[in-house]
């Protein structure tokens, strides 16, 4: 028996069960499909086509799966082909901070995408990276749903390692950095997207500047001039 091809040739790990179609020649009516050495109930269509329903637990993890066709007595068997189980696409960005509003109305999360110089702002139901819809925002994590495959992905708030240099995080001096309580010595940004710069901002007491005291030696003393 000969396997020419299988359909599909690749699937994503964690998806549901699917129908496998095996095309080839000289298939025996008693032959069964063996998926990764496990015998699967097989539907004989004709000598060139077999089908089988593959359970979801057979593709729970990524990796290669072997497929052969064989009769119960083992006297007739086919060549081996490979079906690839791929890891589903995952978001390629970091959750770097958020702006929270009263009653969680229009909370805005900020993400650092690969290849971009400035953070991307997103609210609930916005799509980031072309395929990931933001469905939950909290101070600790965000949750995305793949609009194509339905997978959900949790992205934790970025927490830099202790002692790491954060002065330029994440985009270098002078660029907007949303609030992230996990960054030590964090300096609030001067410009907040969506807010006019003329709105007064609270300055913590330890950051308030006091006028420098003028040294007595710098004062003009005309009495000592001769």
Structure tokens at 71: 């009769």
SS3 of residue 122 by DSSP: strand
Those residues whose C-beta lies under 8 Å from the C-beta of residue 214, and which sit 6 or more positions away, are: none
Q: Which domains does the chain have, with CATH numbers?
A: 2-86 (2.60.40.10), 93-191 (2.30.30)
Q: Can you read off the two tokens belonging to residue 126?
A: 């916005």
For residue 57, say if its preceding peptide bond is cis, omega within 30 degrees of 0: no
- Rounded Cα distance, 213 and 199, in Å: 29
Cα–Cα distance between 13 and 89 in angstroms, integer? 10
pLDDT of residue 105: 67
Question: Could you give the CA distance from residue 79 to residue 56 in angstroms, rounded to a whole number?
Answer: 25
Q: What global pTM score does this model have?
A: 0.58
Pairing of strands 10-12, 81-86: parallel
Sign for the pseudo-dihedral over CA of 132, 158, 15, 83? positive
Q: What is the CA radius of gyration of the chain?
A: 31
Q: Are strands 93-99 and 2-7 parallel, antiparallel or unpaired?
A: unpaired
Q: Which residues contact 134 (CB under 8 A, 6 or more apart)?
A: 109, 122, 123, 124, 125, 126, 127, 128, 142, 143, 144
Identify the DSSP state of 158.
P
CA 129 and chain centroid, separation: 9
pLDDT by position in tens, the chain (length 226)? 999 999 999 999 988 889 999 999 999 999 999 999 999 999 999 999 999 999 999 998 899 999 999 998 889 999 999 999 999 888 988 898 888 877 656 788 999 887 788 888 898 899 988 889 999 998 889 999 998 888 889 999 887 776 554 444 444 433 445 555 555 444 444 455 544 454 444 444 554 445 555 555 544 444 444 4
Own/partner pairs, 125-132, CB within 8 angstroms, 24+ separation: 128/91, 128/93, 129/91, 129/92, 129/93, 131/89, 132/91
Q: What is the pLDDT of residue 181?
A: 55
């Amino acid at each position: 028996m000969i396997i020419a091809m299988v359909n599909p040739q690749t699937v994503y790990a964690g998806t549901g069960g699917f129908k496998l179609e095996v095309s080839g020649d000289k298939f025996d009516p008693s032959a069964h499909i063996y998926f990764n050495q496990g015998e699967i109930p097989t539907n004989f269509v004709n000598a060139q086509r077999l089908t089988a329903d593959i359970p979801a637990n057979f593709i729970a993890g990524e990796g290669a799966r072997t497929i052969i066709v064989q009769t119960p007595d083992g006297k007739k068997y086919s060549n081996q082909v490979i079906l690839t189980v791929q890891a589903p696409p995952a978001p390629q960005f970091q959750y770097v901070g958020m702006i929270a509003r009263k009653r969680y109305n229009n909370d805005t999360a900020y993400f650092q995408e690969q290849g971009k110089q400035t953070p991307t702002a997103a609210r609930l139901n916005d799509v980031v990276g072309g395929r990931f819809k933001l469905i939950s925002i909290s101070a600790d994590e965000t949750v995305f749903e793949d609009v194509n495959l339905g997978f959900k992905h949790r992205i934790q708030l970025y927490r830099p390692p202790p002692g790491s240099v954060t002065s330029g995080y994440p985009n270098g001096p002078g660029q907007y950095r949303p609030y992230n309580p996990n960054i030590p010595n964090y300096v609030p940004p001067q410009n907040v997207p969506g807010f006019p710069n003329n709105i007064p901002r609270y300055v913590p007491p330890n950051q308030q500047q006091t006028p420098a005291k003028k040294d007595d030696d710098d004062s003009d003393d005309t009495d000592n001039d001769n």
